[in-house]
Chains A and B, each alone.
Chain A
Amino acid sequence: MFVALRDIRFARGRFALMGAVVALITTLVVFLYGLTGGLAADSSSAIAGLPAQDVVFGAPQGATPGVSFSNSSVSAAQQSAWESAPGVGSVSPVGIAMSRLTTAGSASSVSVLGVPAALLPPLTAGTAPGAGQVAVGQKTASADGVTVGSTVTVGARTLTVSGITADRSYGHAASVWTTVPTWQQVSGATGPSALAVDPGSADTAALDRAQNTDTVSRGSALAGIDGFSAEQGSLQMIQGFLFVVSALVIGAFFTVWTVQRRTDIAVLKAVGASSGYLVRDALGQALILLLGGSLVGAGVGLAGGALLRGGGMPFVLGAATVAVPVLAMVLLGLAGAALAVRRITSVDPLTALGANR
């Protein structure tokens, strides 16, 4: 990269400008990536954190079951059939409903989950809820001034807080946890919304056919949360567009840069440089630009993300938040640059001798 490094040093203004563009796009992608992850967690962490391999959705006899927590309802007969099926490891009912939690002086939207104690998130204080009791997340407890032993109203039912759990949420509402019978009283439902199962060696497809249920992995079950797929799909589409834009911008820059360097390229070819040498040199230049720009952009994105998260915005800060956007920017940018610098191969060294004279 003898020429590449010296070109960057010589045309530092142009490369700084282009590096700033790469940095800005990377910052935007890191923001989006962190927000996408944060919104996903805000929408689904109660389900994603369930200690179960699969989720079984049910439908009344004659209706077609589908992956939707809102539409799903598992009957006692279906639950019993799954529990007694040979080879099934474990079956736990899960009830989900949206409601309102009211304390003295405050009210907030919550998702109410009715589950056995084994499916509860980790308790940080108190005990698992029994009949007429509820466990709330740390943020809810802190925001509403709730402690173990406090009385809260969930929907129309008054419940006693038995414990404080790690924070989980469903459908962008903080989750509170209670038993399935208490959940039925709060929600008015006659049976659980779904079953959390460890299928063991059971033939789940055969069980689904026999019981009119639909079994999917826990990860696939997230699509059953209202709005989850549309929300994530929109954000991921914007990320994709940004990656395409970055590749086009890098490609356009190196197209112009290569055209401007045609005389230099012709001279280098005339004095014996191979096209391979020149292409490697140009791609090395693109790699330096992309790495420099994307790492600066990722740093800015992370710092901005930390500020957003401090302000209460859902934002996931992690290795993937940086690594995926940086890697994608570098790879797609290199692809754009490769399309541009292939023009090097068509430069005729004869032009260095003034072949147009």
Chain B
Amino acid sequence: MSTVTLTTGLTLRDVVLTYPDGDRRLTALDRVSLSVAPGELTAVVGPSGSGKSSLLAVASTLLRPDSGQVLIAGADAGALSPRQATALRRDRVGIVFQQPNLLASLTALEQLLVVENLRGGRARAAHGRAERLLASVGIADGKQYRRPHQLSGGERQRVNIARALFAEPSVLLVDEPTSALDHERGAQIVELLADVTRDYATATVMVTHDRALLDRADQVLEMVDGYLG
């Protein structure tokens, strides 16, 4: 396992995360170390409950580990205030959720523009860039003006990916992206993730339990009971 410190990718060093479980504490991440370089797609596989989602939660600053270090684009997430961590997540981290989690009231285009709005930018000025990004993931020809319920499952997942990429993040965290898709569309989504990882030079971590979709990953790690190996 690599422990090289990267200044622009994602690095986890000896990260420990525990949860209260009755009178004792359950260890979700046990001295986990991980380095992902820009433009590299790392797949983390493992059964349910092995700690994959906890890994993403820590890597996205949504959870603070009990110990260890999380470096995102060179910034030590553990040293940041909650407000600074939110800003880091907004500017440097893209999250592709397991369920697309698109906002029902927004069109595909607006799902991206809201990211610009909450960064303090002008949504109208970002219109062209959002359309180009959606087109690059296959959402074009009027589909960008459709709301989530007017899109197929695969299309919603593509919008989900485009939204995660819109802020030009250094780190892309992908949570079970194919769980709601059939094998063919799942393979297309993984292909797309591999392509955007190269094209946008993101340090991508994809957690999945589907081992049939790993051939495009640069590195495959297995997680069992909180251990990453």
Segment at the interface with B among A5-13, A113-121, A307-315: A5-13
Chain B's closest residue to A9 (CB) is: B105
| Contact in complex: B95, A271 (CB < 8 Å) | yes
| Contact in complex: B83, A274 (CB < 8 Å) | yes
Whether B119 sits at the interface, judged by CB under 8 Å, is yes
Whether A3 sits at the interface, judged by CB under 8 Å, is yes
Contact with A along B72-93 (1 / 0, CB 8 A): 0000000000010011011101
Q: Which B residues lie within 8 Å of A241 (CB)? A: none
| Contact in complex: B123, A270 (CB < 8 Å) | no
A contact patch SS:
helix
Separation of A352 and B118 alpha carbons in the complex (Å): 17
Whether B104 sits at the interface, judged by CB under 8 Å, is yes
Whether A357 sits at the interface, judged by CB under 8 Å, is yes
Separation of A268 and B118 alpha carbons in the complex (Å): 9
Separation of A173 and B3 alpha carbons in the complex (Å): 94
Chain B's closest residue to A6 (CB) is: B105
Q: Which of B161-182 contact A (CB under 8 A)?
A: 163-164, 167, 175
Q: Which A residues lie within 8 Å of B57 (CB)? A: 350, 353, 355
Q: Which of A314-357 contact B (CB under 8 A)?
A: 349-350, 352-355, 357
| Contact in complex: B115, A271 (CB < 8 Å) | yes
Q: Which A residues lie within 8 Å of B104 (CB)? A: 10, 264
| Contact in complex: B118, A270 (CB < 8 Å) | no
Separation of A353 and B95 alpha carbons in the complex (Å): 9
Q: Which residue of B53, B115, B117, B123 contacts A355 across the interface (Cβ within 8 Å)?
A: B53
| Contact in complex: A353, B119 (CB < 8 Å) | no
Q: Which A residues lie within 8 Å of B90 (CB)? A: 271-273
Query: Which of A9, A267, A277 has most B Cβ within 10 Å?
Result: A267
Contact with A along B115-141 (1 / 0, CB 8 A): 101110001000000000000000000
Q: Which of A235-279 contact B (CB under 8 A)?
A: 263-264, 267-274, 277
Min CB distance A11 to B, Å, is 7
Q: Which B residues lie within 8 Å of A273 (CB)? A: 86, 90, 118
| Contact in complex: A350, B62 (CB < 8 Å) | yes
Q: Which A residues lie within 8 Å of B115 (CB)? A: 271-272
| Contact in complex: A3, B62 (CB < 8 Å) | no
Q: Which A residues lie within 8 Å of B89 (CB)? A: 270-272
Chain A's closest residue to B164 (CB) is: A271
| Contact in complex: A263, B101 (CB < 8 Å) | yes
Separation of A7 and B107 alpha carbons in the complex (Å): 11
Separation of A355 and B86 alpha carbons in the complex (Å): 18
Q: Which A residues lie within 8 Å of B103 (CB)? A: 3, 264, 267-268
Q: 4 other contacts beyond A272-B89, A272-B90, A274-B83, with CB at 8 A cut-off?
A: A10-B104, A264-B104, A271-B95, A272-B118
Q: List 19 A-B contacts (CB under 8 A).
A: A2-B113, A2-B117, A2-B118, A3-B103, A3-B106, A7-B105, A268-B118, A270-B60, A272-B86, A272-B87, A272-B119, A274-B86, A277-B118, A350-B57, A350-B62, A353-B53, A353-B98, A357-B48, A357-B53
Q: Which residues of A contact B (CB under 8 A)?
A: 2-3, 6-7, 9-11, 263-264, 267-274, 277, 349-350, 352-355, 357
Q: Which 10 A-B pairs have the closest CB atoms?
A: A272-B90, A10-B105, A2-B117, A267-B101, A273-B118, A6-B105, A7-B105, A350-B62, A272-B89, A264-B103
Q: Which residues of B contact A (CB under 8 A)?
A: 48, 53, 56-57, 60, 62-63, 83, 86-87, 89-91, 93, 95, 97-99, 101, 103-106, 110, 113-115, 117-119, 123, 147, 163-164, 167, 175
